[in-house]
Structures are given as structure tokens and as C-alpha cells.
């Protein structure tokens, strides 16, 4: 008689162990459904069916019952190799990586080969694997096949170069199917409940709700020429949504209601073509929060009913820990994006695409069969453009994805080889005419050698008017100009930079918006963080010399609603004593900007010049020995998953470190408790994601050398990883002020 085989210890709810057969079949059924979305259901099913076959040996079963279950310890007997060997035999070597890595992460081919050699060898692991094959095959005979399982047909049509990239992406998304199915089936066992899957949502119903609420929202707004142009943009977006899935470009001037047009296009397109979800990805958390609120207002059901929310907001600072039904839904759904409308960051999206760990990749398969809106697409990092565009192209061509590239400053991606040959569909037809009709600013230039911070401050104080925004390139310059204006202006002068905590910045932005609404005088000095989708409207803007897209984004904060009797004014200045980020990509962008924009050249919103600018910028990058992610793409061709994960870093942590600040006494107790949890060596075994989310509003950023100096001087102390706790002073206006260097004797507890 075949002995009972188990996959997991007893559930505290049901008091039953999880049978291995039930787990393999349950996981396989889930994975097949996930994989069917992109035509690989049979392969996904087989990976899941064999992933825990190694648990079928006597040694593993004995350790589960007599060691792991009573003492809460790991089983300690290898179990992944047996299933990996079956995948190697019946699917192909690269796909065995998914099974071998379903706990620790996708391995490279060398590590995979070594693991398979152990399973096929005469040692203990080989003996246990062969025993497991025989035992599990009696319960699940389908683990042994007469022939290889066919892979999706599109692979056979790829060139040799694209084939390795296609295999890389297919392995990644199949891996996601496997680990999500494994998590869900295991979770259901321990919860003593059915598998947690969201009920299908009718996208047509969501479109109807979106349109009804949008119409109600617009009824309360005044009908102006700008409002009529925004409505035209929206209607063109809805009409374009009927087009076949593919790569779309939404090129709309700042203030052209891009958020509504992008969401409306994506929802109508999903409904028309049977797509399962909409994913909106933006580069900065501040825009994520702003856009998520807009979409929640338009799509979420009333809080009074039993209907689940529609919009999942998923990023590092959203609070998923509050004890209510909506927060519980968001916490669970964020793990695998099982929601019809997801608002996230580009970091979350692309670092999941190129990660190797199950926790990061579990949600990845939800991208298949979706409409992805990449908002503010000009912010995608040049140094990673090759793998990003290559991955997007494969998602569109092979995984049923539609991509919308949305921005007022559209990069010339089609000038790069990765995009050549894929059709470019314009959401709005006559972009040039639209830009001309929505022109709300004129540019003035201050680029002479006589321009200094003092002269700029004098001009802003004398001629800037009561409401003026100044945008500079570095936190040092922001603090310096803020001080100069405070000396010259009577009234409110506000500072914004990453040296302030996230919560502090949000408070200041809300104050600025209130002042602008009320007509209260306010002078703002900010780094470029205010350019990225922060909805403010100043009559006059000063912008320090920067790449062309930054100049245009700054202009989007000027006369945004076209309420001035004439044009707003954007003053571009280049102080001789100013500073610039010391970054190769940034310098290439500046070089290209100088060729096309200036007092005797074009304005930054000239579309023809912008196209030439991007072409030259990319050429500078290629010729200057600064590859645009070719090292990542090379590692992908070699199926070196750990190396891709190491190289693909969208956030540059080389030059900055996160600094935790106790800014208010009222928050001190909670922050100190979270710091203690992070420092607890036993706490590392727990899920600390909630701790990091709670701390996010209290974190600022400092250059590494300043943090090192502060640690040495006793003004900061380590917490965990790169995170430090600040013990020095925090300026109520400028945060961690670069002009106020301290020594240990100057600080007070």
C-alpha cells in the first residue's frame, strides 16, 4: 500500500497535514490558469506539478513529521532538484531554473547544472531523488511524459539573438506563475480556507462607472478653452482604444488631462480586447499617490457596500497595515496584483520584471494580458533603456500586452534598435497642433557669465511677483537660493528637496497648493522633484539650466490652467557659481540640450528640436562608453538571472543613503519601536515590510559621504542595511540642511 505523502505540516485551522498529491495538483491547476493567459498553460502546469516532487522521499517525509512539525524547524532535506531534473528532461534546461529557484530565486545556468548533476549522480541526493520519482509517480503519474512538452510557437520564429531574450522572459513569467500558485495553494492549506483568488471583473462595467463619474466630475468644472481641448484629447484617446493591442504613444502637453486620457484609453482598450487588468506605472511615489486618488474616485465602489475595491495602490510608502477590510484587501492583493486596476511605480514594475527572488516576481505574471500605462515615460533611466524597451517589446509581441507611453516630453525610443520594426500607434493624432493650442508660456534666457545666485535672487525678489517657483538642480543649490531669498523677501519663502522627509515634503506641497488657491504670496525654491507630476500652477517660474525635458516639465508648472490674461513666463538661467549632478547620463543630456535650445535656438517645447535632441543624446551615450543597459541585456542572453538582478538597479544607491528622522515628538515612540524591530536579529525572520512602509514618511536622503561623516561624528547611528537614524538637528524649513554642518557637541537629545 502506498504510504501517505505530505507537502506541509498540520494547519492550525484544520489540524490536517497537506497531502503532497493535493498540493501538486492544486498548484498545477492554478499555474495552468495563469499560464493560459499567454499561451503557455501546459508548461506552467507541468512546472507546478513537479516542483515539490523531491518531497516524496522517505528522508524528507520523516523530517517533516518528526522534526519540522513538532519543533518548528526547517525540514533540511533538499527537495527542489528532483522536479528540476524532470523539467530538464521534459521541457528544457532553462525552464528547470524555475523549479530549482522556487524558494531561493532563479539560479544561473552553471549553478543549475551543478544542482542537476547532484540529482543525477550516485550520491545521497541522487538516491533520494530517484526514490521520490518512484513514490510520487504512483500518485501523480503525469510527472513522467512520453514526449517533451511543447513551448509556445512564437519562440521558433525568433532570430538567434532574440531567441535567448525570449526564453529569458518566458522563464521569468513562468517562474512567477509557479511561485504565485505555490504561495496561494500553501496559504489556503494553512488558513483552512479555499484558495484566495479575486472574482473576475467585467471591464465593461468599469468603463461605464468611469464614464459616469467622470461626467459628474466635469459638470462641476467651468467650460474654458483649455477644458474643451482636454475633452478633445480624451475623446481621441477613447476612439484610439478600439485599435489592436500594441505599442501606443500618448503625447499630450502638460496640463492636457493626461491622467484621465491614459486611464480612459486603458479601460476602454481592455474592455474592447478582453484584457484582464490595467497597470499604471509612474516614476515617483508622489505621482503614484496623486494618480491613485484620481482613479479610486472614478472606479472604486462605495465604502458602504460589500464590493471589493478596484484600484490597488502599491508602492513603498502606502500604508497596508491598518485594521480594516480595505487595507486587508490591499495588503493581500499587493503580493500578486490580483486586482483589475493597479497603480504602482516604474521601479516596482521593472525591478519585478528583471528580479530573481520569488517575493519580487510573484506578481509578474499578472502583467500578461494587461494594458500598461507608463506615465512620465521621459523619466525612464537612460542607463537601462535597452533592457526596458526590449522587455516591453517582448511583452507586447508575445504576452498579450498593450503598452501606452505617456508624457508631455516623449523620448525618441523608435530611434533605438530595440523599437525598430514594432508599429508606433499615436493616441492623439495632431500632436503639433495640440501643443500650439495649449501653449501657455514664453521663455526668457539668462545664460551669460554675469549670472550668479545673487543676481538670480535679486531678480526673483524684485520681479518674480508674489507667487513664483524656482527650480534648481541640487539640494545644495536649493538651500543656498532659499537662504538668499529669505534675506531679500518679506513673506513666505518655501523650500523643497529630498533632504526633507517624505512626510514633510507632502505637508509643504499641500501648503503651497492652498496658498496658490487662496492667492496668498508664496515663493518656492525646489529641486526637480516638483516637476514630476506635482499639480501646481504659478504665473512665473525660474528654472536653472538642465536637460530639455526638465525645462519643459518646469514649464508645466507655469500658467497650467491658462488663467493669466497672457502667457506665463519661464526664465531659464545658468548661474556661473551653480552646480550640476555629477552623472555621465546627465552630462550627455546637457550636451545635447546646448545644441538645440537657447535664446537663438528653439524653445524646449519645439517638437522637432526635441526629436533631434533625443537622437543626439542617445548617440552621445553610445559613443561615450556609457552603455544603455547592454550589460543587463548580455546577462539576459546568457540566462544569468542573478547577474541581471544585480545589474538592473533603477534607483541609484551608490551616491545616497536613506536617513530616518524623528521630526516630531508625537511620532518618536512609534518610530523607536519600529527601529527596535529592524535591529532585532530574530525579527529578521518576520515580514518587516509593514515597518518599512510606516517609516517611509520619516525618511530623507543624504549623500553617502555626508552620512559617513555624521556616523563618525556621532550625529547618526546605523539601523539596518543602509538605513541610519539621525541624531543631529533637523531644520524646520530645509530639513537636513547642507549649510548647517554640526559637530557632536552641538546636538541635543
pLDDT in tens, 80-133: 999 999 999 999 999 999 999 999 999 999 999 999 999 999 999 999 999 999
φ, ψ for residue 357, nearest 5 deg = -90, 140
Q: Looking at residue 1, what is its pLDDT?
A: 55
pLDDT tens column, 174-193: 999 999 999 999 999 999 99
Strands (E), 588-740: 656-660, 699-703, 716-720, 723-726
Q: Looking at residue 531, what is its pLDDT?
A: 86
Which band of pLDDT confidence, cut at 50, 70 and 90, is reported for residue 317?
very low
User: Residue 430: is its pLDDT beyond 60?
Assistant: yes
Burial class (CB in 10 A: 0-12, 13-18, 19+), 141: exposed
| 180: nearest Cα among 400, 401, 365, 372 | 365
Nearest-angstrom CA–CA distance, 515 and 537: 11
Q: Looking at residue 685, what is its pLDDT?
A: 42
CB 343 within 8 A of CB 371: no
User: Residue 323: is its pLDDT beyond 50?
Assistant: no
H/E element, 403: strand 402-407
Q: Looking at residue 44, what is its pLDDT?
A: 98
Which residues, including other chains, have CB under 8 Å from residue 72's CB and lie 6 or more apart?
none
Which band of pLDDT confidence, cut at 50, 70 and 90, is reported for residue 61?
very high
Which band of pLDDT confidence, cut at 50, 70 and 90, is reported for residue 315?
low
Q: Looking at residue 49, what is its pLDDT?
A: 98
User: Residue 288: is its pLDDT beyond 60?
Assistant: yes
Least confident among 330-339, 393-402, 495-504, 666-675: 330-339
Give 597's DSSP letter: B
Nearest-angstrom CA–CA distance, 206 and 743: 58
Which band of pLDDT confidence, cut at 50, 70 and 90, is reported for residue 562?
confident
Nearest-angstrom CA–CA distance, 241 and 372: 13
Give the number of C-alpha atoms closer than 13 A to the C-alpha of residue 219, restricted to the C-beta side: 6
Which band of pLDDT confidence, cut at 50, 70 and 90, is reported for residue 262?
very high
CB 254 within 8 A of CB 552: yes
Q: What percent of the chain has pLDDT over 70?
A: 93
Nearest-angstrom CA–CA distance, 425 and 377: 16
3-state secondary structure (DSSP) of residue 251: strand
Q: Looking at residue 75, what is its pLDDT?
A: 92
Q: Is the model more confident about 71 or about 315? A: 71
**Alpha-carbon distances, residue 361 vs 17, 31, 105, 320, 337 (angstroms):** 28, 14, 9, 19, 11
Which residues, including other chains, have CB under 8 Å from residue 725's CB and lie 6 or more apart?
659, 660, 662, 675, 716, 717, 718, 719
Q: Mean per-residue pLDDT for 514-537?
A: 91
Least confident among 50-64, 445-459, 703-717: 703-717
Cell 497648493 maps to which residue? 513
Q: Looking at residue 679, what is its pLDDT?
A: 84
CB 23 within 8 A of CB 7: yes
| 636: nearest Cα among 430, 356, 431 | 356
3-state secondary structure (DSSP) of residue 467: strand
Q: Looking at residue 663, what is its pLDDT?
A: 87
Which residues, including other chains, have CB under 8 Å from residue 516's CB and lie 6 or more apart?
467, 522, 536, 537, 538
Question: C-alpha cell of 449?
Answer: 557669465
User: Residue 270: is its pLDDT beyond 50?
Assistant: yes
User: Residue 744: is its pLDDT beyond 50?
Assistant: no
Least confident among 294-303, 375-384, 624-633: 624-633
Which band of pLDDT confidence, cut at 50, 70 and 90, is reported for residue 219?
confident
| 290: nearest Cα among 114, 69, 532, 528 | 532
* pTM to 2 decimal places: 0.90
CB 30 within 8 A of CB 184: yes
Which band of pLDDT confidence, cut at 50, 70 and 90, is reported for residue 689?
low
Question: C-alpha cell of 388?
Answer: 526596458
Give the number of C-alpha atoms closer than 13 A to the C-alpha of residue 15, restricted to the C-beta side: 0
User: Residue 324: is its pLDDT beyond 50?
Assistant: no
Q: Looking at residue 129, what is its pLDDT?
A: 95
Q: Looking at residue 88, what is its pLDDT?
A: 97
Q: Looking at residue 330, what is its pLDDT?
A: 57
Amino acid at each position: 500500500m502506498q504510504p501517505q505523502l505530505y507537502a506541509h505540516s498540520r494547519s492550525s485551522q484544520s489540524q490536517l497535514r497537506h497531502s503532497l498529491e493535493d498540493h501538486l495538483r492544486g498548484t498545477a491547476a492554478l499555474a495552468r490558469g495563469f499560464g493560459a493567459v499567454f499561451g503557455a498553460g501546459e508548461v506552467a502546469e507541468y512546472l507546478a506539478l513537479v516542483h515539490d516532487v523531491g518531497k516524496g522521499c522517505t528522508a524528507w517525509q520523516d523530517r517533516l513529521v518528526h522534526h519540522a512539525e513538532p519543533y518548528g524547524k526547517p525540514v533540511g532535506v533538499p527537495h527542489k532538484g528532483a522536479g528540476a531534473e524532470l523539467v530538464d528532461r521534459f521541457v528544457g534546461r532553462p525552464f528547470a531554473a524555475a523549479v530549482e529557484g522556487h524558494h531561493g530565486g532563479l539560479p544561473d545556468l552553471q549553478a543549475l547544472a551543478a544542482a542537476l548533476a547532484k540529482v543525477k549522480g550516485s550520491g545521497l541526493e541522487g538516491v533520494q531523488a530517484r526514490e521520490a520519482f518512484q513514490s510520487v509517480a504512483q500518485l501523480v503519474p503525469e510527472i513522467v511524459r512520453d514526449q517533451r512538452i511543447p513551448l509556445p510557437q512564437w519562440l521558433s520564429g525568433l532570430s538567434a539573438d532574440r531567441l535567448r531574450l525570449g526564453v529569458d522572459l518566458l522563464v521569468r513569467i513562468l517562474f512567477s506563475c509557479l511561485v504565485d500558485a505555490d504561495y496561494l495553494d500553501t496559504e489556503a492549506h494553512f488558513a483552512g480556507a479555499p484558495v484566495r483568488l479575486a472574482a473576475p471583473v467585467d471591464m465593461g462595467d468599469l468603463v461605464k462607472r468611469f464614464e459616469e463619474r467622470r461626467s459628474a466630475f466635469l459638470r462641476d468644472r467651468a467650460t474654458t478653452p483649455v477644458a474643451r481641448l482636454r475633452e478633445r484629447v480624451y475623446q481621441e484617446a477613447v476612439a484610439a482604444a478600439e485599435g489592436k493591442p500594441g505599442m501606443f504613444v500618448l503625447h499630450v502637453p502638460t496640463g492636457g488631462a493626461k491622467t484621465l486620457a491614459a486611464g480612459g484609453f486603458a479601460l476602454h482598450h481592455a474592455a474592447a480586447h478582453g484584457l484582464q487588468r490595467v497597470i499604471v506605472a509612474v516614476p515617483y511615489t508622489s505621482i503614484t499617490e496623486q494618480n491613485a486618488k484620481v482613479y479610486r474616485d472614478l472606479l472604486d465602489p462605495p465604502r458602504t457596500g460589500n464590493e471589493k475595491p478596484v484600484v490597488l495602490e502599491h508602492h513603498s510608502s502606502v500604508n497596508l497595515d491598518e485594521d480594516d477590510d480595505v487595507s486587508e484587501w490591499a495588503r493581500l492583493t499587493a503580493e500578486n496584483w490580483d486586482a483589475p486596476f493597479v497603480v504602482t511605480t516604474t521601479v516596482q514594475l521593472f525591478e519585478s520584471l528583471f528580479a530573481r527572488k520569488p517575493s519580487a516576481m510573484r506578481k509578474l505574471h499578472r502583467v500578461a494580458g494587461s494594458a500598461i500605462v507608463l506615465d512620465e515615460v521621459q523619466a525612464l533611466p537612460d542607463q537601462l533603456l535597452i533592457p526596458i524597451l526590449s522587455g516591453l517589446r517582448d511583452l507586447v509581441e508575445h504576452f498579450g500586452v498593450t503598452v501606452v507611453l505617456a508624457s508631455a516630453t516623449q523620448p525618441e525610443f523608435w530611434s533605438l534598435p530595440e523599437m525598430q520594426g514594432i508599429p508606433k500607434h499615436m493616441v492623439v493624432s495632431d500632436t503639433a497642433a495640440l501643443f500650439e493650442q495649449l501653449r501657455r508660456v514664453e521663455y526668457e534666457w539668462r545664460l551669460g557669465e554675469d549670472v550668479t545666485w545673487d543676481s538670480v535672487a535679486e531678480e526673483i525678489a524684485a520681479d518674480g511677483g508674489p507667487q513664483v517657483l524656482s527650480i534648481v538642480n541640487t539640494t545644495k543649490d536649493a538651500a543656498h537660493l532659499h537662504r538668499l531669498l529669505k534675506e531679500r523677501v518679506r513673506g513666505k519663502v518655501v523650500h523643497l528637496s529630498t533632504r526633507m522627509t517624505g512626510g514633510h515634503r507632502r505637508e509643504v506641497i499641500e501648503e503651497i497648493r492652498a496658498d496658490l488657491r487662496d492667492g496668498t504670496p508664496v515663493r518656492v525654491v525646489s529641486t526637480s522633484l516638483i516637476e514630476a507630476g506635482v499639480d501646481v500652477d504659478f504665473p512665473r517660474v525660474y528654472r536653472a539650466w538642465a536637460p530639455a525635458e526638465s525645462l519643459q516639465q518646469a514649464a508645466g508648472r507655469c500658467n497650467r490652467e491658462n488663467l493669466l490674461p497672457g502667457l506665463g513666463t519661464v526664465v531659464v538661467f545658468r548661474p556661473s557659481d551653480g552646480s550640476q549632478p555629477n552623472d555621465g547620463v546627465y552630462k550627455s543630456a546637457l550636451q545635447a540640450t546646448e545644441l538645440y535650445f537657447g535664446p537663438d535656438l528653439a524653445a524646449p517645447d519645439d517638437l522637432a528640436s526635441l526629436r533631434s535632441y533625443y537622437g543626439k543624446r542617445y548617440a552621445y551615450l553610445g559613443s561615450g562608453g556609457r552603455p544603455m543597459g547592454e550589460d543587463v541585456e548580455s546577462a539576459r542572453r546568457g540566462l544569468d538571472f542573478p547577474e541581471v538582478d544585480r545589474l538592473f538597479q533603477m534607483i541609484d544607491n551608490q551616491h545616497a543613503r536613506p536617513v530616518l528622522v524623528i521630526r516630531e515628538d508625537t511620532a518618536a515612540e512609534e518610530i523607536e519601536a519600529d527601529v527596535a524591530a529592524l535591529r532585532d536579529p530574530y525579527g529578521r525572520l518576520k515580514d518587516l515590510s509593514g515597518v518599512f512602509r510606516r517609516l517611509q514618511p520619516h525618511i530623507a536622503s543624504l549623500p553617502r559621504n555626508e552620512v559617513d561623516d555624521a556616523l563618525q561624528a556621532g550625529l547618526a547611528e546605523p539601523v539596518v542595511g543602509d538605513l541610519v537614524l539621525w541624531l543631529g538637528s533637523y531644520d524646520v524649513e530645509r530639513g537636513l540642511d547642507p549649510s548647517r554642518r554640526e559637530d557632536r557637541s552641538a546636538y541635543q537629545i
